[in-house]
Amino acid sequence: MNNFLKKSFSAKISLSLLILSLPLFLASVGVLFVQTRRIVKDQSVERANGTLYTTMQLLKRYLITAESATNSNSWMVEEALKPDSLLAFSQRIVWMNPDLGGCSISMEPDVIDTSIKPYSVYTGRNGKELQTVVGKECEQTNVIKYKIPRYLKKPCWEVYYNPADSLPYTLDGMVASYHKPLYDNTKKRFAGIISTDLSMNLLSEKIAKIKPYPHSYFMILDEDGHYLIHPDSTRLMNKTIFSEKTPENDADIIALGHEMTKGATGRMNIEIDGEKALVCYQPVPGTTWTLAVVCPERDILKSYTQLKHIVTLLLLVGLFITALTCHRVAKRSMRPLKKMLKKVNEITNGNMEVHIGKSNRTDIIGELQNSYSKMLNSLNFYMGSVRYTTEQTEKRNKELEKATEKVLEADRQKTKFIQNMTHQVRTPLNIIMGFAQVLNTETNHKQPTITPDEIRKIADTMYKNSKCLIRMMLMLFDSSDTGKEALKNTTIDEMVNPNEMCHEIIDFVRKVYDYVPIAFKTELPAKFYIKANEMKLRYSVSEMLQNAIRHSDGKNILMDIRLVNEHVQFIVQDTGKGISADDQQRIFKFFDKVDEFTDGLGLGLPLIKMHAKQMGGDFWLDTNYTDGCRFILEMPL
């Protein structure tokens, strides 16, 4: 091998080129790995937070179900403090809320005239049937879960461990109870506690099905660090996150425990149970709990590790091919030099007529000179071509990088939109389906348990949520290419009375949002008309009002109609946090939301602007107004 390198000049050049290019090549690959690892970790944080948000919504749905069932019936319980009424209310709450495991009503002594003092009633599920016990069998006035809300005198959540009971329909294991104090309105005193129970085992099973990674899991801690939900059931209630932990060896876990117990939101990279992991955490609204998702680093970096192995193999193969190619290219490049060396030797032997330069001679020396000259020209041309090709390649690579970034951004936007759309559609659908189930169940009872007023309220709620779904579908259609094309063909020559239209819209919006106060001012006469597409104009004004209600304090909303320079301006202003200067241009982009945690699809304001432009008007945000938001829709007369 040494003799070959000494004799072969092309081999020496190939080896030199390889040695010079190898550090740069390895550095590039190293940067690639570092950047890839960073991107993978950033994506893991987004993935974990997205899953945490989804799980939080699921948990909140169960908690809100228990709170709503308790709060909506507590006032009726207080109005009818009789044994039969309390028994009926307990059964009704559990029957109308399939997610609840039980409901208990415990009264203070002497509140109810009965031989069993204190009086208590508990209703639980035994399969598909409801069973109820009364009296000392379910007496709860001396237990801690009764004493805490009695002492606090306000609703609260409490988690306790309920051992296996002789009654087959009570909840075993961890139980989350929502307690609300009851008061005797006639005697103006504390009367008892109404409680609804959720099985933490059931919640744990539901939450365990949502996983950002195969080996990830969720846990819930209370304000003292006790485990309320954890895959290891031996830790539940018996241990805290600080148990058997020392500052010297478990500083990161202790720091995580303090962050979660004080209700903070964030993420940490720690070593938990002997394994590195990413932990994202967020407090559960309305409770003293904190929900966290634990994602092992081995799952997060699994694809990265596989990529590293593949790239390492490709690197070795690439080095071999590069060395072989360099040797062949160098060997071919040496051929003209060998020919030139031959002619130099002829000059050395005394042939002084041979010149290295361009010549008009036709003998072998002249041809060699001309060939060398052409070789130099060709080499220059070749280098120029290589340079041009390199520049074009770099340009194309930059274009490809930009295109790739746009594709990735579009994919992220699509994912966020699908998640947002799913959440937005799920809520009204769940409400409609839930009430439909209630009405269907009601029809199968011989004796109705729901009053006509309640049926009307249920029907009204189902109608409002149906309108919400129709509104979202129409917004999606209008934002599509088909909807935009159809908008161009709509007529804008309808005569519309702005005052009458706005009165109708305000009445509708007030009903939808429980009669929120909306002030109205107008400078137009009662019989004033403008030319426009009434449906699109009505939609735009309604969307402006609903947007102001959803994103403000809902107390100082004003609808103002003005006549300015042969244009009619529909002005909606509110008081609230407003929109920052950085986000004022984003609000008019389709599917783009300033706050991802708020309701909406990111279509309302862009569609208003599109409709306004189509009808010859305009729509903008008044940046001079600083007490909240003021949007102006301007239409020609």
Q: What is the pLDDT of residue 210?
A: 87
Contact 606, 541 (CB under 8 A): no
Q: What is the pLDDT of residue 241?
A: 87
Q: Is the peptide bond before 525 cis (omega within 30 degrees of 0)?
A: no
Task: Quote the percentage of the chain above a pLDDT of 90.
Answer: 7
Contact 158, 143 (CB under 8 A): no
Q: Is the pLDDT of residue 346 over 90?
A: no
Contact 191, 107 (CB under 8 A): yes
Q: What is the pLDDT of residue 597?
A: 54
Look at 290-294, 308-312, 390-394 and tell me which has the smallest mean pLDDT: 308-312
Q: What angle do CA 25, 29, 33 make, to 5 degrees?
A: 170
Q: What is the pLDDT of residue 166?
A: 45
Q: What is the pLDDT of residue 13?
A: 66
Look at 455-464, 525-534, 602-611 and tell me which has the smallest mean pLDDT: 455-464
Topology match between the domains 211-300 and 484-636:
no
Mean pLDDT of 530-544: 86
Total residues found in the chain within this entry = 637
Q: Is the pLDDT of residue 283 over 90?
A: yes
Q: What is the pLDDT of residue 167?
A: 47
Q: Is the pLDDT of residue 352 over 50?
A: no
Q: What is the Cα 12 distance to its own chain's centre? A: 59
Q: What is the pLDDT of residue 360?
A: 61
CB atoms within 10 A of CB 435: 17
Q: What angle do CA 201, 204, 210 make, to 5 degrees?
A: 155
Contact 87, 315 (CB under 8 A): no
Mean pLDDT of 49-61: 90
Q: What is the pLDDT of residue 8?
A: 61
Mean pLDDT of the chain: 77
Choose between 404 and 284: higher pLDDT: 284
Look at 330-334, 396-400, 618-622 and tell me which has the smallest mean pLDDT: 330-334
Mean pLDDT of 398-427: 71
Contact 112, 92 (CB under 8 A): no
In the chain, the amino acid numbered 136 is K
pLDDT band at residue 610, thresholds of 50, 70 and 90?
A: confident
Prediction pTM value: 0.47
Contact 186, 78 (CB under 8 A): no
Q: Is the pLDDT of residue 124 over 80?
A: yes
In the chain, the amino acid numbered 182 is L
Domain 211-300 has CATH 3.30.450.20: yes
Q: What is the pLDDT of residues 468-522, one digit of tens each?
A: 666 666 666 666 656 566 666 666 778 889 989 999 888 888 877 777 888 899 9
Which region holds residue 263: left if phi is over 0, alpha if psi is between -120 and 50, else beta?
left
Mean pLDDT of 52-66: 90
In Å, how far are 45, 94, 502, 591 from 416, measured between CA atoms? 15, 36, 34, 9
Structure tokens at 51: 């899953």
In Å, how far are 25, 313, 316, 542 from 22, measured between CA atoms? 5, 16, 11, 66
* Domain chopping of the chain, boundaries: 1-198+303-352, 211-300, 356-479, 484-636
Q: Is the pLDDT of residue 296 over 80?
A: yes
In the chain, the amino acid numbered 143 is V
Mean pLDDT of 78-83: 82
b or e along 193-208 (b: 16 or more beta carbons within 10 Å of the residue's beta carbon)? bbbbbbbbbbbbeebe
Q: What is the pLDDT of residue 354?
A: 44
In the chain, the amino acid numbered 433 is M
In the chain, DSSP finds a helix count (H) and a strand count (E) of: 14, 18
Choose between 297 and 118: higher pLDDT: 297
Q: What is the Cα 345 distance to its own chain's centre? A: 78
Task: Quote the percentage of the chain above a pLDDT of 70.
Answer: 72
Containing 194, the helix (H) or strand (E) segment is strand 189-199
Adjacent-strand bridge partners of 423: none
Mean pLDDT of 46-64: 90
Mean pLDDT of 207-218: 88
Q: What angle do CA 146, 149, 155 make, to 5 degrees?
A: 130
Choose between 57 and 140: higher pLDDT: 57
Helix, coil or strand: residue 282: strand
Nearest to 461 by CA among 433, 484, 421, 483: 433
Biggest CA-to-CA distance, the chain = 138
Q: What is the pLDDT of residue 482?
A: 60
Contact 291, 55 (CB under 8 A): yes
Choose between 105 and 11: higher pLDDT: 105
Highest mean pLDDT among 30-39, 441-450, 520-529: 520-529
Q: What is the pLDDT of residue 476?
A: 65
pLDDT band at residue 452, thresholds of 50, 70 and 90?
A: confident
pLDDT band at residue 634, thresholds of 50, 70 and 90?
A: very high
Q: Within 13 Å and on the Cβ side, how many CA atoms surround 141?
A: 17
CA–CA gap between residue 550 and residue 236 (Å, rounded): 40
CA–CA gap between residue 390 and residue 178 (Å, rounded): 69
CATH no. of 1-198+303-352: 3.30.450.20
Mean pLDDT of 336-361: 54
Contact 557, 517 (CB under 8 A): yes
Q: Is the pLDDT of residue 95 over 50?
A: yes
Containing 503, the helix (H) or strand (E) segment is helix 498-512
Choose between 19 and 494: higher pLDDT: 494
Q: What is the pLDDT of residue 282?
A: 93
CA–CA gap between residue 148 and residue 413 (Å, rounded): 46
Q: What is the pLDDT of residue 338?
A: 62
Q: What is the pLDDT of residues 541-597, one digit of tens each?
A: 888 888 888 878 778 889 999 998 888 999 999 887 878 777 767 777 766 666 655
Instruction: Give the single-character DSSP code of 599.
Output: S
In Å, how far are 17, 195, 539, 616 from 527, measured between CA atoms? 87, 58, 21, 22
Pair type for strands 173-184 and 189-199: antiparallel
Match domain 484-636 to its CATH number in 3.30.70.20, 3.90.850.10, 3.40.720.10, 3.30.565.10.
3.30.565.10
Pair type for strands 557-564 and 518-522: parallel
Nearest to 218 by CA among 282, 270, 286, 288: 282
Q: Is the pLDDT of residue 290 over 90?
A: yes
Helix, coil or strand: residue 546: helix
